[in-house]
Each structure stands twice: as structure tokens, then as C-alpha cells.
């Protein structure tokens, strides 16, 4: 891994990400990318021998429980509690969240 990034390196990355950068952004990102790689190299130097691999940072068997089947919410009750539902069709009406 390079110890530093040139503006040309940043341009190549920006092109892959389809970003247009100013000269100031190119210089800033070159420094930030170099700092990230320097930190990654620092983390790789940590001795992890004897530490078992984990899939979760806080994996604890005590936090897991068996699944228990429970009754769900009745459809009619759910529709009755909705502010704008079509009970005959069994549908909820919700506000549009994506512009059209």
C-alpha cells in the first residue's frame, strides 16, 4: 500500500466513484486516504495471536434465546388502529416518501 496518495491517485479513485473534485478536495482526500492507510497499518501491527476469531464484537451465548411462537396482531385490529386504512382491501395507506 502506498504511504501517500498523489492527486493522480485520488483522481483515479474519484473517477471510479464518479465524483468530480476540486483541487482543494483532491489535496484533502489525498491526506485523508493516507491517514486511513497509516491507521490500518498501525492496527495490523497489534499482536492477536492466541485470541480466537469472533463474528461479533460482543458475542455472548447468554444473550441468545430460543425462538418462541407467539400470536401476532389481529389484522382487523391493526387496520382499525391505522389512521388511513382500507379495511375492505386490507391495506394501509402511507404517505409517499419518494418524490415523483
Backbone angles phi, psi at 6, to 5 degrees: -90, 165
Look at residue 76 and tell me whether its pLDDT is greater than 80: yes
pTM value is 0.48
Task: Return the number of other C-beta atoms located less than 10 Å from residue 82's C-beta.
Answer: 14
Cα separation, 22 vs 2, in Å, equals 22
Q: Is the domain 7-44 a CATH 1.10.10 member?
A: no
In this structure, are residues 9 and 36 in contact, taking their beta carbons and an 8 Å threshold? no
Confidence of residue 100 (pLDDT cuts 50, 70, 90): low
**Domain parsing of the chain, residue ranges:** 7-44
Amino acid at each position: 500500500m502506498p504511504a501517500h496518495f498523489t492527486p493522480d491517485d485520488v483522481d483515479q479513485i474519484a473517477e471510479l466513484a464518479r465524483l468530480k473534485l476540486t483541487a482543494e478536495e483532491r489535496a484533502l482526500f489525498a491526506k485523508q486516504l493516507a491517514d486511513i492507510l497509516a491507521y490500518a497499518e498501525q492496527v495490523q501491527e497489534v499482536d492477536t495471536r492466541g485470541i480466537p476469531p469472533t463474528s461479533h464484537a460482543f458475542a455472548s451465548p447468554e444473550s441468545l434465546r430460543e425462538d418462541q411462537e407467539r400470536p401476532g396482531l389481529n389484522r382487523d385490529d391493526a387496520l382499525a388502529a391505522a389512521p388511513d386504512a382500507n379495511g375492505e382491501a386490507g391495506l394501509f395507506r402511507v404517505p409517499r416518501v419518494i418524490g415523483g
